[in-house]
C-alpha cells in the first residue's frame, strides 16, 4: 500500500527534480502545472509487479480520488482515507479500522502535504525513449536516484505529450523487481459527494476501531 501511495503521489502531485536535462525538466514542469489546474482527480489504475528471476508476476487494480491534500485510495480490498489530518485504513475482510494522525515531522512519510517537496531532491532527470501506445505518443523521462544506497535503479515516467498527463510510472529496483502503475481512466473536476473525504464511524459499527496515537 505504501509503495502504491508513493506512485500515486508521483502521478498527481507533479515532479520536481534536480535539472540535469532542460527538456526533461521543462516537460515535468508542464505536468506539474497541468496537475495544479485541476480541482480534483479520479483515476482507475493497474499496478503490476514483476521479477523474472523470482518468477513473480502480479497484477492488481485500484482507484483513487484526490482533492488538495485529501484522498481516498481503494486497493487490494483495502480503503485508505486521508481527510487532511488523520488517515483511516479500512480493512473489510478483518472488519478493522485503524486511525493515525499525520506526523508532519516524519520526513519518511509519503503524504499529500509533502507533494511539492517529496521529489524536490535526490534525482537526476533526463529524456528517455518515445513510444506509441494505442495511438498515444508517450515520452518517457528517466529519474535516477543520486543516493547510491537507494534500492531503486531508476524511475521512468511516461507522459502523454498531447495532454501532458502521466500515462504510467515504471520503477526498476537494483535487484530486478519492476513495478508499473498504469492509468486506465483519468477524470478531472468531478462532482464529488460532500463527505467524500470524511470518515463516517456509523458505517463501521461492527468493526474494531483502533487509534494508533
What mean pLDDT comes out for the span 165-193?
A: 91
pLDDT of residue 119: 47
pLDDT of residue 136: 93
Look up the pTM and report it: 0.81
Averaged confidence pLDDT in the chain: 84
State yes or no: pLDDT of 109 exceeds 90.
no
Q: Quick one: what percent of the chain has pLDDT higher than 90?
A: 47
pLDDT of residue 5: 67
pLDDT of residue 161: 94
pLDDT of residue 121: 62
Task: Give the 3-state secondary structure of the chain.
Answer: CHHHHHHHHHHHHCCCCECCCHHHHHHHHHHHHHHHCCCCEEEEEEEEEEECCCCEEEEEEEEEEEECCEEEEEECCEEEEECCCEEEEEECCCCEEEEEECCCCCCCCCCHHHCCCCCCCCEEEEEEEEEEECCEEEEEEEEEECCCCCCEEEEEEEEECCCCEEEEEEEEECCCCEEEEEEEEEEECCCCCCCCCCCCHHHHCCCEEEECC
pLDDT of residue 69: 82
Amino acid at each position: 500500500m505504501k509503495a502504491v501511495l508513493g506512485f500515486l503521489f508521483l502521478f498527481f502531485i507533479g515532479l520536481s527534480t534536480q535539472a540535469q536535462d532542460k527538456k526533461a525538466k521543462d516537460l515535468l514542469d508542464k505536468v506539474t502545472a497541468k496537475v495544479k489546474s485541476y480541482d480534483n482527480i479520479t483515476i482507475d489504475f493497474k499496478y503490476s509487479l514483476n521479477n523474472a528471476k523470482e518468477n513473480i508476476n502480479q497484477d492488481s487494480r485500484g482507484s483513487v480520488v484526490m482533492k488538495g491534500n485529501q484522498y481516498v485510495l481503494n486497493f487490494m480490498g483495502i480503503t485508505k482515507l486521508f481527510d487532511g489530518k488523520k488517515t483511516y485504513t479500512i480493512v473489510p475482510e478483518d472488519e478493522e479500522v485503524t486511525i493515525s494522525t499525520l506526523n508532519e515531522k516524519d520526513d519518511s512519510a509519503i503524504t499529500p502535504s509533502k507533494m511539492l517537496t517529496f521529489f524536490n531532491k535526490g534525482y537526476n532527470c533526463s529524456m528517455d525513449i518515445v513510444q506509441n501506445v494505442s495511438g498515444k505518443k508517450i515520452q518517457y523521462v528517466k529519474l535516477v536516484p543520486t543516493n547510491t544506497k537507494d534500492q531503486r535503479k531508476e524511475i521512468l515516467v511516461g507522459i502523454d505529450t498531447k495532454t501532458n498527463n502521466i500515462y504510467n510510472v515504471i520503477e526498476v529496483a537494483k535487484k530486478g523487481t519492476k513495478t508499473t502503475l498504469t492509468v486506465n481512466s483519468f477524470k478531472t473536476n468531478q462532482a464529488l459527494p460532500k463527505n467524500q473525504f470524511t470518515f463516517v464511524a456509523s458505517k463501521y459499527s461492527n468493526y474494531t476501531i483502533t487509534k494508533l496515537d
